[in-house]
Structure 1
Amino acid sequence: MLRTLLMFLSLLVNPVSSSFADTFADPTVIRGQDGFWYAYATSDPLRSGSGVARRIPISRSPDLTHWTYVGEALSGPAAPYVAPGASYWAPDVRYLDGRYVMYYAVTDTNVSPETFDFAIGVATASAPAGPWTQQPAPVVAPRPGGGGGYLSTIDPAELTAADGTRYLYFGSYYGGISVVRLAADGLSTVGAPAMVALDNKYEGAYVVRRDGWYYLFASSANCCAGPATGYSVSVGRSRSPLGPFVDARGVSLLDSRVGGTPVVTQNGNRWIGAGHNGLVTDLSGQDYLVYHAIDRNAPYLDEPFGVNRRPMLLDRLDWIKGWPLVRAGAGPSDTPQAAPVATGAERFDRAPSWLPGRWRVADGYATGSGTVLRPSPSGDVRVEADLRVPAGSSLGLVAGGVRVSIDRAAGQLVASTGASAPPATAGASAPPAIVGASASASASASASAGAGGRVLASAPLPPGLDFGTWHNLAVSVRGDRVIAELTEARQSGPIVSLSFRVRSHPAQVGFVGRGDVDNFSVRRLYRPVTHAVPAPAVGRLAWSDEFNGTAPGPGWSWIRPDSAATVSGGSLHWPVEAGDLTGTGNNASVLLRDPPAGNWTAETKLTLDLGVDEVRNYQQAGLIAYAGDDDFARLDVVAIWNTRQIEYGRELPYAGSLAYGGITLGTPATTTWLRLVHRTDPATGEHLLRSSSSVDGHTWTRGGVWTFPAGAPLRIGLDAHGGAAPPVTAQFDYFRIHRP
């Protein structure tokens, strides 16, 4: 009853896929030319007990919050290269030059007798729900790996860059994430792929362009470890679609100590394993991250350790100081949220009363020529429409007292005033005075402004794109700033953008020129969130061991003592041992103490030289929260093959066995500071432990949260294990407890 009422009130309630599916993994969302929103996902059974995998399931929504199952995309005969029994994973759907193109991973081909000789398939359709026609050859064929088997050629994502060049990103842990240029039709590749994110760290790439940067979103850790899943999303950015992509600290995603700035990770509520994202923008201009996550109380679709139950979530994506954060860093939502502004676009199913005689409605869109004006809401506004412009013509939007047009004759996106701008109306202010623009006007653009017109800004249209097919133009007016963005079906960010200021503007909006118009929308512009949620307070120093003696101070005790660990020179020196705690072996040493009651923060300064670029598995050291050999969470600097990462791992008993997974956060250095921030949930009594890391002891990167049940015999301490060769010693300079 409550959920029904919340949906009636148009609130966003996660998981948004619950009306039609228990699991809807690796989701991506687009808006179709019919005005509906469409979501696509990996092939799994949709409901518990079904047992029948849907081959790329499709759902549809009028508002991004209420979804209905449509059908399977790939229900017809398989392409010739697809082996019997193959599955289809992680679709990415785009609208390219008048048709829909779907990229997807094929898990098994007839290239070899191996089960996982992955490839990237491609299919096309004239409508977002299909029918889809699989192309006879993969867009990226199986790639043999240098170490045997086939590279993980999965998780595709297309991008149309600012110059009109199309690229495809793909890949996973074995082989890394690569980018390859696509042919103009998007159905084949040109040249060789190049790696943009190091292997053994990231998968699930998704790239968008914003403010002149290309942002590479990617997911890390295990997607599918049931109740121990720590999947999460990080990002790097570059001025080029080919990279190098670097994080907020300037560390490359190709470095052995792999960079990446967190976007979303679990926060201690019901959701864990938040990852594999797409991005969608609502009609107000607000971005949303679409992704999957796992309910830690119901991690499997059916039997334990079978298909992971990964429903689709949708949450607000904020851009703070140039970097994206889900809900300003609050993470996945499990309470009602404000719904996206996703309805109200004019689809022209019939002629609206305000459409003048020189325009008519045909086949669900408006076609004609001239100027169409509508009253504008007060305050900041966003106007957008899908436009189709005949050769030699110009068509655009009116907002902020200016006209922004796709001028095919001039080959420009042009913002102008004058004769081509809307006529003045009673009560309207004078034509706007320009304050500043991000682009200078060209001679051809100036001519297109018309007699007496004035070009405010212009930028060239990519020569390879067909502007006789639908493209989306959005014009946002915030105060005296106007931003115009031209995209392919609202995806991947602008291929052309303009930014300029005006001092005053008439209170009218509309469209003007000659051509076809659909999905015309006028909405109040979203209000951006500009500050991240505050980090948990660390508080005052309550206790410390600075390791100034010859042994750990009072209160410490060992699980399986390690006589090689010594204290001297103000540090605990602990040679990394060959033992481990994962699984049932449990032969590693752990140094522990009892934490104080209530809330606290444990911190250590760790020096651990694991080298770079060489293969090591899995030497590590750091902090550990311990309730038993098979019930712990450890925040360690760790060597994983050729990478060096910070992993916040969790092992716990489940269904008569053990589950282990990890969250990754930050980037390690030779010396790394680590924190575990403990809070007790006042409603449940659960222990919530949030991870944080730093490379200077001052600026901290917040990571995800693992939980322990109320009443768990929780202790806190240090570990140094995972492999003794080559020899390396962990140096702990202190261990401190802070109280808020």
Structure 2
Amino acid sequence: MRPIPRTAVVLASLLSLAAPAGVPAPASAAPDAATYTNPVSADTVDTFPDPTMIRGKDGRWYAYGTTNPIFNSDGETGEHILPTMVSDDLVHWTYAGDVFALHAKPSWWPAATRPWAPDIRYYDNTYHLTYALSVGGIGLATSPNPAGPWTDRGQIVPAASGCPSGTIDQAMFTDTDGSYWLYWGSYDTICVSRMTHDGTALTGPVTQIGRGRRMEGGYVVHRDGWYYLFYSDGGCCDGAFSGYVTKVARASSPTGPFRTPSGVDLMDLTSKDGIVVAGDGNRWVGPGHNALVTDLSGQDWLVYHAIPYADPDFPPVTGANGATLRLTKRPLLIDRLDWIDGWPVVRAGAGPSTTAQPAPVTTWAVGSRFDTADGFGTQWDLVDGHLQTDAAGTVLSDDTVAGNVRVEGDVRGAAAGIVFAYRSPDNRIEARLDGATKRLIVDVTVAGATTTATAALPDNTNVDSWHTIAAERRGRNLSVEVSADRLRDASAAVAITLPAGIGNGRIGAVSRSGAAQVDNLGAAPLYAPVRHRVADPSVGAKLAAYSDEFTGSAPGAGWSWIRGNPGVTVSGGALSWPTQNAELALGDNSASVLVRDAPSGDYVVETKLDFDGTRGNQQAGMILYGTDDRFIKLVHSVLPLNNGGGAVLQQTEFTKEDTRASTSQVTSGPMFGGPAPRTMWLRMLYQPETRTARMASSRDGVTWEWGGSWTAEFAAPPRIGLISMNASGATGRFDYVRTYAAG
């Protein structure tokens, strides 16, 4: 283990506290908010790809990652199989071992495999960790503890799973009816199937729910009646050329159809909008393969990996399969996830953080993990790190809370629950499980009068397994949910408008009858939601000297050809360019490029493109051209759907080509933007100071989907250009090229 120094864990916001007559004095004010700086895995491990995370029933957070050389900088030349880290605050992490030791691999694993992409869930008093094998198949390990030791449960999905893209990047999901589902798929299809009642095998049909170039890493959460499917597309793990982008779509059923914010079905044969987070080009590249975690204030955080642009590559390492590998560093990042107008986005659209940020709330204003019973009464016993009773009763905190607050506790037992806003038996809020009726029951009592709301628990609910009850009070609105694994997959939820008279009070544990256990009980100030996205880039004045409306019979002044005019014509206010059987990729630099000088300073270049490509690899669009081996291009491209029976995808493709620093080899990397209809608009914002270009696309020229950025190490200012190439038989028709000063 490599422990790291701990700092004090403090609240990220303050809770208003007030004490009326007859109740104990409130807790003292919390200290100022802590901060974090990505990657949060720095100084602990070198890399932590494909992260997933859970808050264990011991009150600590656990993260699990793909097999990788996590201690390469310490001189280790090999990998760790599914490494684990643990944290008390989501910011400072300690290595906590591996799910499987290199010398103790399950015997059924193929010799050449490397385990990838773990996913963690909790139900029936057991942690279920699934993982994919690089050669195919999905395995399961279980443990009563989040840190293991883990018991191998064998293969739960064979390599021939019924999903055309195989068995990579699986994630489980528990629906509101208690049913278990598994999502999986990579390169280029995501599938889903229902699982057996114990979550150890698939049952029922395998349904394709998403198709897209390099689509993978599906992860589902249920919010406000919608099933949100997070996924990544683009190149995942190719150093500074990784075009991974995290996107989202939603559905009213766990089997879809999943649609993007603009209404595109994930099964449509086009690239997709719904960007959650994309790379900034020169600090973090390829942010993707995410999970979600919720802090004690109720704020969601995206858990994901990204690649440091300045130090992206490992030297050759010995893989867990014995092969010599060239791998990319993908450390662990976290960032605030905002839900704006029904859609999730990282930091209101600001992208991955590069500076110190307010840390997650991981300490309660009032509460305990019950390592001791300090702060609570002595009516219940302290047993194995949790409160326990054999009879009906209530145990209360010494201190009070008030205002907008989130209260939660882990409960186990047929009538176990939590109480808050407790001033007396006649003035309190209580949320509990009822094993006899299989319901979540919420009682709001004011001056002896009780209002009750209930919601059905799934038939398969085992009240003798730990469940988390979480209640959020915002003004007079109260929402309560119960889940098995605290991953916001609620199995029951209740919403109530609170009556007047509910004020501050104590929190506590309650049993209505018989044995009950409660752990990790506390209250924190409720998070303040972000309601508005950050502004998208804007355009300023049109720069006529760097623009062309194509109103003549040839390209206007300022244009020149690289490798000659391949038959381009200008008429009717448009430039028409049949696609060439020529390329501009790696060692094949045979395609023509129409170029012109660019202005100084930040600028936006835009074109309206009609493209009729129908077969693989045809493409047309814009380019920022430095040399044949150093450019950034934004095109409408036609790409084959892997294992798609000949189907092709219409893609908004954003690609850079440059020299890889670690090998001095020319490399090309793709990123994908929004939908690519036959007629579309393309934009690139270029900032010479950082040599960074950001892409945007539109289907109407008015509403723009801004995506990620690429940085190319241009030795001189790149020129603005057009291309139409790769395979003949299509035509790119450009209505104009307009260059604007950046707004």
Normalising to structure 1: TM-score of the pair? 0.88
1:62–1:552: structure 2 CA closer, same or farther, 3 Å change rule? same
1:410–1:453: structure 2 CA closer, same or farther, 3 Å change rule? farther
Contact conserved, 2:6 with 2:92, CA < 8 A, in 1?
A: no
Displacement of 1:711: 5.0
| 1:184 is the counterpart of 2:197 | yes
Distance in 2 between the 1:562 and 1:472 partners? 67
Q: Which residue of 2 aligns with 1:395?
A: 417
| 1:24 is the counterpart of 2:48 | yes
Distance in 1 between the 2:497 and 2:349 partners? 31
| Contiguous gaps of at least 5 residues in structure 2 | 10-32, 318-324, 423-427, 641-647
| 1:530 is the counterpart of 2:547 | no
CA-to-aligned-CA distance 1:699-718 (integer Å, 9 cap, x gap): 11110011234753311121
Q: Choose the corresponding residue for 1:674, options 682, 692, 695.
A: 682
Contact conserved, 1:142 with 1:151, CA < 8 A, in 2?
A: no
Displacement of 1:600: 1.0
1:579–1:481: structure 2 CA closer, same or farther, 3 Å change rule? same
Q: Choose the corresponding residue for 2:142, options 76, 100, 124.
A: 124
- Structure-to-structure mapping, 1:223-242, within 5 angstroms: 223-242=236-255
AA in 2 matched with 1:188: A
1:452–1:526: structure 2 CA closer, same or farther, 3 Å change rule? closer
Displacement of 1:190: 0.8
Contact conserved, 1:43 with 1:53, CA < 8 A, in 2?
A: yes
Q: Choose the corresponding residue for 2:393, options 347, 370, 373.
A: 370
Q: Choose the corresponding residue for 2:209, options 185, 196, 207.
A: 196
1:6–1:327: structure 2 CA closer, same or farther, 3 Å change rule? farther
Q: Choose the corresponding residue for 2:127, options 94, 100, 109.
A: 100
Contact conserved, 2:630 with 2:714, CA < 8 A, in 1?
A: no
Contact conserved, 1:159 with 1:492, CA < 8 A, in 2?
A: no
Q: Which residue of 1 aligns with 2:159?
A: 142
Distance in 2 between the 1:228 and 1:417 partners? 56
AA in 2 matched with 1:126: P
Q: Which residue of 2 aligns with 1:715?
A: 719
Contact conserved, 1:160 with 1:492, CA < 8 A, in 2?
A: no
Q: Which residue of 2 aligns with 1:648?
A: 654
| 1:499 is the counterpart of 2:495 | yes
Contact conserved, 2:303 with 2:335, CA < 8 A, in 1?
A: yes
- Structure-to-structure mapping, 1:451-530, within 5 angstroms: 453-455=450-452, 457-504=453-500, 505-510=502-507, 511-514=509-512, 515-530=516-531
Q: Choose the corresponding residue for 2:229, options 216, 219, 227.
A: 216
536-545 or 29-38: which moved more?
Answer: 536-545
- Structure-to-structure mapping, 1:505-584, within 5 angstroms: 505-510=502-507, 511-514=509-512, 515-543=516-544, 544-584=547-587
Contact conserved, 2:52 with 2:303, CA < 8 A, in 1?
A: yes
CA-to-aligned-CA distance 1:160-189 (integer Å, 9 cap, x gap): 001111001011015x11111111111111
AA in 1 matched with 2:598: P
Contact conserved, 1:274 with 1:292, CA < 8 A, in 2?
A: yes
Displacement of 1:402: 2.7
CA-to-aligned-CA distance 1:678-729 (integer Å, 9 cap, x gap): 224xxxx3222111111011111110011234753311121111211xx111
Displacement of 1:539: 1.4
Q: Which residue of 2 aligns with 1:448?
A: none
Distance in 1 between the 2:50 and 2:166 partners? 16
Displacement of 1:4: 8.3
Displacement of 1:303: 4.6
| 1:602 is the counterpart of 2:602 | no
Contact conserved, 1:216 with 1:245, CA < 8 A, in 2?
A: yes
AA in 2 matched with 1:461: L
Distance in 2 between the 1:7 and 1:631 partners? 47
Distance in 1 between the 2:161 and 2:725 partners? 34
| 1:270 is the counterpart of 2:269 | no
Contact conserved, 1:399 with 1:475, CA < 8 A, in 2?
A: no
| 1:84 is the counterpart of 2:111 | yes
Distance in 2 between the 1:531 and 1:101 partners? 37
Contact conserved, 1:396 with 1:406, CA < 8 A, in 2?
A: no
Displacement of 1:202: 0.8
Partner secondary structure for residue 618 of structure 1: coil
Distance in 1 between the 2:216 and 2:715 partners? 37
Q: Which residue of 1 aligns with 2:315?
A: 302
Displacement of 1:297: 1.2
1:63–1:142: structure 2 CA closer, same or farther, 3 Å change rule? same
Aligned-residue CA RMSD (Å): 2.1
1:399–1:104: structure 2 CA closer, same or farther, 3 Å change rule? farther
Distance in 1 between the 2:486 and 2:162 partners? 36
Distance in 1 between the 2:534 and 2:8 partners? 27
| 1:620 is the counterpart of 2:641 | no
Partner secondary structure for residue 301 of structure 1: coil
Contact conserved, 2:401 with 2:421, CA < 8 A, in 1?
A: no
Q: Which residue of 2 aligns with 1:55?
A: 81
Contact conserved, 1:472 with 1:489, CA < 8 A, in 2?
A: yes
Q: How many residues align?
A: 680
Contact conserved, 1:252 with 1:258, CA < 8 A, in 2?
A: no
Q: Which residue of 2 aligns with 1:441?
A: none
Distance in 2 between the 1:193 and 1:600 partners? 48
Distance in 1 between the 2:730 and 2:258 partners? 31
1:623–1:399: structure 2 CA closer, same or farther, 3 Å change rule? farther
Distance in 2 between the 1:576 and 1:699 partners? 28
Contact conserved, 2:183 with 2:218, CA < 8 A, in 1?
A: yes
Displacement of 1:513: 2.6
- Structure-to-structure mapping, 1:312-461, within 5 angstroms: 312-344=332-364, 345-357=367-379, 359-368=380-389, 369-374=392-397, 375-390=399-414, 393-399=415-421, 401-418=428-445, 430=446, 453-455=450-452, 457-461=453-457
Contact conserved, 1:225 with 1:660, CA < 8 A, in 2?
A: no
| 1:659 is the counterpart of 2:676 | no
Displacement of 1:90: 0.4
AA in 2 matched with 1:162: T
Distance in 1 between the 2:213 and 2:157 partners? 20
Contact conserved, 2:401 with 2:506, CA < 8 A, in 1?
A: no
339-348 or 286-295: which moved more?
Answer: 339-348
Contact conserved, 1:7 with 1:13, CA < 8 A, in 2?
A: no
| 1:43 is the counterpart of 2:56 | no
Partner secondary structure for residue 348 of structure 2: helix
Distance in 1 between the 2:619 and 2:6 partners? 50
| Contiguous gaps of at least 5 residues in structure 1 | 108-115, 419-429, 432-450
Distance in 2 between the 1:489 and 1:346 partners? 19
